[in-house]
Chain A
Amino acid sequence: MTPIERVRRTLRGEPVDHLPAQPMGMMFSAKHAGMTFTDYTKDGRRMAEAQLKFVADYGVDCLLTCSDPAREVIDIAGDGSVDWFPDQGPVINEERAALTAKERLETFRLPDPLGGGRMHDRVKSIELMRSAAGPDLSIVGWVEGPLALAAELRGLNNIMMDFGDDPAFVHRLLAFCADVAIAYAPAQIAAGADTIAMSDAAASLIGPELYTKFLWPEQKRVMETLRQKHPGVIRRLHMCGRTDPLLTQMREVPVDIYEIDFPADLKTARERLGPDRVIAGNVSTVTDLLQGTPEQVYEACRKCHQISGRYHIVSAGCELSPLTPPENLRAMLAYAREHQPGDHG
């Protein structure tokens, strides 16, 4: 069974040879390939090289192109708000945020994902990955969730205040950011991505009221557009942090895979998402994978599987730390290889 078949059959609840495993390895894979994370993020060829090595050496079921909101930020607004640090991804400097002056939003145009910028670099990376990996591996393309991108354009502290101070601006900004995601996904699909993940990193900072009023309609619009225009593409949603208060609403976002972060309670996630939604996660990237032992990671995988049931993908709650001991990651992948979806009792 190929990795992509394994994932698709898991989504349909059909028998598979073993559980899929899709931990998110970005900095980890760069380190594993012996390159700096700066090189990884600046050059799609290096990202493809690192991801292919990561997948080949560890037996992960997918190649991931996530998550780097500065791709969109730079293509939309230039690099004036972005700082680069050694061996790290680009970081937005809030004091120089692109939308320090909110009026600038009216001047923004949708970026061209094939226009030779950093968004295009990810598209080219996906082409390289597909060409090297062939049709059997899943390739996860990536778009930023509306609030994740909005926070990078406006500044996280600023956008949090804007909800109360200027709700009309927040609506406009989130709608623009959703449009960016809708424009970016097809280019990645055409390049070879079979899955589109959307990460909305800051979403768990707002409560259910603001989520329902502002963000949820835009997340739904992105995923519903994808569902209609690319019905064969797998849709995946990642929201960092403790999302428990948002899960009931998240259930209505039309996605195939809910990636649940480790601060969230997995039992609550299963109850609120229902029995047949696929949950990826939520082994702790800190206490289990970074600080634990292989036995502890294996047991954590068992516990997540037990709670999630058969609709489950073995994964960490969020991105793997580059400092994760390799034997801990191998324990996670061993759990996946040694268990079928129904072995959760």
Chain B
Amino acid sequence: MSLLTDLSIAVAAGKRPDTIRLTQELLAGGTSPQDVVEQGLVPGMAVVGEQFRRNEIFVPEMLVAARAMKEALKLLEPLLAQAGIKPKYTVVIGTVQGDLHDIGKNLVSMMWKGANFAVVDLGTNVSAERYLAAAREHNAHLVGLSALLTTTMPAMKETVRLLKAANLPNVKIMVGGAPITQAFADEIGADGYSADAGSAVSTALRLMGEAA
């Protein structure tokens, strides 16, 4: 097995020390930071997403894998920045106004980071205006809205309305959360819906026009 494959396996298993060690070994051996991300971390996190979608792993295992990935990225991001390499896509994510629940939003955020998206996480209780300002400021390709409460679904609708009215070029909107359905996503004019964090990457890539 190659070190890149070992890295994928270590990330998927959430083995933080192994993930750091393998990242360091790969870099020392001359593998480019971009290849470490795209051929080591991204495939590892893709496995995590698929296992989560199939109920083979659950939230604790997913969070541990994401933490291992983050540790590797701490080593890689300065090198990527130095080389002027940026992720292809930028996404803005948050939980809508009035809603303080963040576990679902965090899981999706991690999966998007694991797919090598630049993620701007606005946190919870995010107003429609803050989403819009962040989308403009970061030239986002995608805005992700999360809601856990049925009472905050109207805030999601309002945020989608404001973002659509701003007519930002090439910005797609994706929604999710326990009470959210494809029908609701369609009704409020969102471009995409994901039922779980495991499928959030493939939905986002599809919205970006890439085969997932």
Residues of A in contact with B (beta carbons under 8 Å apart): 27, 83, 85, 88, 91, 93-94, 156-157, 160-161, 163-164, 205-207, 210, 241, 244-245, 263, 285-287, 290-291, 321-323
Q: Are A156 and B178 in contact (CB under 8 A)?
A: no
Q: Are A157 and B106 in contact (CB under 8 A)?
A: yes
B39: interface (CB < 8 Å)? no
Number of interface residues of B (CB under 8 A): 23
Complex alpha-carbon distance, A207 and B184, angstroms: 29
Complex alpha-carbon distance, A249 and B135, angstroms: 45
A83, A157, A286: the one contacting B181 at CB < 8 Å is A286
Q: Are A321 and B150 in contact (CB under 8 A)?
A: yes
Q: Are A321 and B151 in contact (CB under 8 A)?
A: yes
Most buried by A among B55, B67, B150, B183: B150
Q: Are A161 and B63 in contact (CB under 8 A)?
A: yes
Q: Which B residues between 30 and 75 are near A, CB-CB below 8 angstroms? A: 55, 57-61, 63-64, 67
Q: Are B58 and A210 in contact (CB under 8 A)?
A: yes
Residues of B in contact with A (beta carbons under 8 Å apart): 14, 55, 57-61, 63-64, 67, 98, 100, 102-103, 106, 150-151, 153, 178-179, 181, 183-184
Residues of A near B106 (CB, < 8 A) are 157
Complex alpha-carbon distance, A83 and B63, angstroms: 25
Q: Are B63 and A157 in contact (CB under 8 A)?
A: yes
Complex alpha-carbon distance, A88 and B98, angstroms: 9
A94, A161, A241, A263: the one contacting B102 at CB < 8 Å is A94
Complex alpha-carbon distance, A156 and B179, angstroms: 19
Residues of B near A286 (CB, < 8 A) are 150, 179, 181, 184
Complex alpha-carbon distance, A93 and B60, angstroms: 20
Complex alpha-carbon distance, A43 and B57, angstroms: 41
Complex alpha-carbon distance, A157 and B181, angstroms: 24
